[in-house]
């Protein structure tokens, strides 16, 4: 199929990717617009993974208050340059992350931050529950491992499902931003407060 300049232009305006890459994507996808977009996104994800070790010390601290001040979130999102830190897309992304934290109440950013004793405690609860449900002893470890993965999906921000799209985990959203903005982006830290929660909980 012939790839026209109009097709390249349309793909470029939709993705923000360079003309040559758009032409290559359309050729690889045999002119199929959606396949070309997917091709570019996958390529962008691979590029994003390569950027992950670059230093990100610029950025924004996003503040968000929800439900007439019943929930408050502060999140630090970093990027490599002040230029990107001031961009509308980066700021929108930081805001979306704050909304996610307000709505889904994660406890950690990524799974390697979960203390070993917390994981062991959750595994013990899962094993005890499986025993109560009458599951055979030889299945307990496998059941506990499965429930532990679900626990991580709930408490780790990067593993959570995006509140606006249940097919997209936050980690994928982050990689898409890295690919689109061309810089390493790091969700550095966050704090979430809920009115009336007890101190030390």
Residues 9-30 have pLDDT tens digits of 887 766 667 788 888 889 999 9
**pLDDT (0 to 100) of residue 68:** 85
**pLDDT (0 to 100) of residue 83:** 92
3-class secondary structure, 196:
coil
Reported pTM: 0.69
Asked if CATH classification 1.10.10.10 holds for the domain at 58-110+156-194, the reply, yes or no, is no
**pLDDT (0 to 100) of residue 39:** 81
- For 80-100, what is each residue's pLDDT tens digit? 999 999 999 999 999 999 999
Question: What CATH number does the domain located at 5-51 have?
Answer: 1.10.8.10
Average pLDDT over residues 103-124: 93
CA distance 92 to 102: 15
Flag the least confident range among 15-19, 101-105, 113-117, 136-140.
Answer: 15-19
CA distance 73 to 127: 34
Handedness of CA 163, 125, 195, 77 (dihedral sign): negative
CATH fold of the domain at 115-154: GTP Cyclohydrolase I; Chain A, domain 1 (1.10.286)
- For 25-60, what is each residue's pLDDT tens digit? 899 999 988 888 778 777 765 555 556 666 777 999
199 band by pLDDT with thresholds 50, 70 and 90? low
| 26: its two tokens | 């359309």
Domains of the chain: which residue ranges?
5-51, 58-110+156-194, 115-154
Flag the least confident range among 132-136, 143-147, 185-189.
Answer: 132-136
> Is-same-fold flag (58-110+156-194; 115-154)?
no
162 band by pLDDT with thresholds 50, 70 and 90? very high
Average pLDDT over residues 144-169: 93
Q: Is the pLDDT of residue 7 over 70?
A: yes
| Number of Cβ atoms within 10 Å of the Cβ of 64 | 19
Phi, psi (degrees; rounded to nearest 5) at 59: 145, -150
Instruction: Map tokens 């670059």 to a residue.
Output: 54
């Amino acid at each position: 199929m012939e790839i026209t300049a109009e097709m390249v232009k349309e793909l470029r305006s939709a993705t923000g990717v360079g003309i040559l890459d758009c032409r290559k994507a359309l050729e690889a996808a045999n002119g199929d617009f959606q396949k070309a977009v997917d091709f570019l996104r996958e390529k962008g994800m691979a590029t994003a993974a390569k950027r992950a070790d670059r230093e990100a010390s610029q950025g924004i601290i996003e503040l968000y208050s929800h439900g007439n001040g019943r929930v408050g979130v502060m999140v630090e999102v970093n990027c490599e340059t002040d230029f990107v830190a001031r961009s509308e897309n980066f700021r929108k992304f930081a805001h979306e992350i704050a909304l996610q934290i307000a709505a889904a109440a994660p406890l950690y950013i990524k799974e390697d931050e979960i203390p070993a004793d917390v994981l062991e405690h959750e595994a013990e609860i899962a094993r005890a529950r499986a025993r109560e449900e009458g599951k055979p002893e030889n299945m307990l470890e496998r059941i506990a491992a499965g429930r532990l993965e679900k626990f991580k999906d709930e408490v780790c921000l990067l593993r959570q499902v995006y509140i606006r799209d249940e097919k997209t985990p936050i980690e994928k959203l982050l990689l898409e931003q890295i690919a689109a903005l061309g810089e390493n982006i790091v969700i550095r830290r966050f704090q979430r407060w809920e009115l009336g929660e007890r101190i030390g909980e």
